[in-house]
Structure 1
Amino acid sequence: MKAMILCAGRGERMRPLTDTLPKPLLEVRGKPLLVWHLQRLAKCGFKDVVINIAHLGFKIPEVIGDGSRFGLNITYSDEQDTGALESAGGIIKALPLLGDETFLVLNGDIFCDYDFDLDFDLKDKLAHLILVPNPEHNPDGDFGLEGDLVLNEADEKYTFSGIGYYSPKLFSVLECKKSALAPLLRVAIAKNEVSGELFNKIWHDVGTPQRLEDINR
């Protein structure tokens, strides 16, 4: 299985830190967020990783290189000319690099200790989402969960972690343009095509300077 790390966002809420640095290169405990992800992917057995880049994207290959020092083969999907294509658009652009099998996608601006599953089986679903208990900044959550089936509406909702396993079929008929992931997921969820699970360990959305400071502290 290949993995993709979404690293193209502007990081507006992180300004002024992101005026000179892509958000995934911001450091937790002296190590860039992106490096935490790469080391964990390698530990979990992954070999091939795709990273999309846009805002100050040239700085990411300068720091990360080709992945060999992590035991990985890293390929870059470059959105610097078009501007960031958002989550779904970035995945669609990278599909030729991700192949025909199930692939993992994770946000570059989260910090977690989730163990990525190299052999995850989607079975008959188009996606499998990792959900987490709602943080203070998202108290109403995003999706419900009934067994392992993700719901758009439920009495109790959880927050999408930014980690998911996807079939290329979910994206294959879509045009490569700026587009968000959530609307696409909601259509598939309405058709009972998305499974999920609740992850209760370490997970942080590093969305603001204050959150970054809190994690480091």
Structure 2
Amino acid sequence: MRAMILAAGLGTRMRPLTDHTPKPLLRAGGKALIDYHIEKLAAAGICNIVVNCSWLADQLEEYLGDGSRYGVRIFVSREEEPLETGGGIVQALPLLCEDGGDDPFLVVNGDIWTDFDFASLRDIHPVAGHLVMIKNPPHNPQGDFALGENNVLAEKAGANEGTYTFSGISVWRPSVFSGFVCGKRALKPIMDAAIANKALSGQLYEGHWWDIGTPERLAALDAFLAL
């Protein structure tokens, strides 16, 4: 399995911290945020990792190198302007499935921190995609999707019961993205289409998970990791 770390965002909500530093290189617990993902992926035996970058891309590329210091191979997918999640995956697709097959790949948002075990996803073979869900955090109380029977995801209903938030960790088939041309593209419509076809599965994770969307949340994570 290959993996992609989404790291091309502008980090607007993190300013002024991201004025001169790309968000994946902000530090918590004595490490750059992206180090945690790469180290956990390596520990899970996932050693071919694609990282997309755009804002202050030179800094991120120089920091990562070829991945050898982590014991992995890192491939950079550089975007002249951020292509959003769907567009970033489409551009990186040749790096995620070199043999042209349809073996699933893992995607993780660069601006989260979690103790989720990526190795648990190596045996996931979804119809289209598989999302790791979490209980709704304070910043997303309505949730994103409902987790139904047989772990099939559905659009959320009126009530919030059984509705959870997408963690930013997912597994996808390359064929889901192979028909798109390169360009800016959101992931949500792709998820919605998969849900309509009952082809998007999910699982609930109840361990530690942080969305590092503001300087305050970064500071809170730093304090947590210092415990």
Fold-level match, TM-score > 0.5?
Answer: yes
Equivalent residues in 2 for 1:89-128, closer than 5 Å: 89-99=87-97, 100=101, 101-117=103-119, 119-123=122-126, 125-128=127-130
Shift of 1:169: 1.0
Structure 1 residue runs of 4+, over 3 Å off?
Answer: none
Q: Distance in 1 between matches of 2:156 and 2:218?
A: 31
Indicate the residue corresponding to 2:217 in structure 1: 211
Aligned partner of 2:17 in structure 1 is: 17
- For residues 185 and 114 of structure 1, the distance between their equivalents in structure 2, rounded to whole angstroms, comes to 22
| Greater mean alpha carbon deviation, residues 171-180 or residues 150-159 | 150-159
Secondary structure of the 2:169 match is strand
CA shift at 1:153, angstroms?
2.0
1:114-172 deviation per Cα after TM superposition (whole angstroms, max 9, x unaligned): 1113622324x100000001111111110110131111123321110000000011111
Between the aligned partners of 1:165 and 1:106, the Cα distance in structure 2 is 9
Q: Tell me the equivalent position of 1:33.
A: 33
**What does residue 186 of structure 2 align with?**
180
1:86 alignment partner AA: E
Partner of 2:156: 153
Q: Distance in 2 between matches of 1:26 and 1:131?
A: 25
C-alpha distance in 2, partners of 1:119/1:106?
14
CA distance in 2: counterparts of 1:189 and 1:210, whole angstroms: 34
Find 1:190's aligned residue among 193, 196, 208. Answer: 196
List per-residue Cα deviations over 1:174-209 (Å, max 9, x = no partner).
121101111110111111010000000010010000
Residue identity opposite 2:116 in structure 1? Y
What is the TM-score normalised by the length of structure 2?
A: 0.92
- Report how far residue 64 of structure 1 moved: 1.6
CA distance in 1, matches of 2:92, 2:105: 11
One-letter identity of the residue aligned with 2:89: I
Aligned partners of 2:204, 2:142: CA distance in 1, in Å?
A: 15
- Count, aligned residues: 214
Tell me the distance in 1 between the aligned counterparts of 2:210 and 2:199.
27
Please list every run of 5 or more consecutive structure 2 residues that lacks an aligned counterpart in the other structure.
none
TM-superposed CA distance for 1:5, in Å, is: 0.2
1:87, CA displacement in angstroms? 0.2
What is the aligned partner in structure 2 of residue 143 from structure 1?
A: 145
Q: What's the TM-score, normalizing by structure 1?
A: 0.96
Equivalent residue number for residue 45 of structure 1: 45
Q: Which runs of 5+ in 1 are unaligned?
A: none
1:66: how far off?
0.8
Q: What secondary structure sits across from 1:188 in the alignment? A: helix
Structure 2 distance, partners of 1:132, 1:16, is: 29
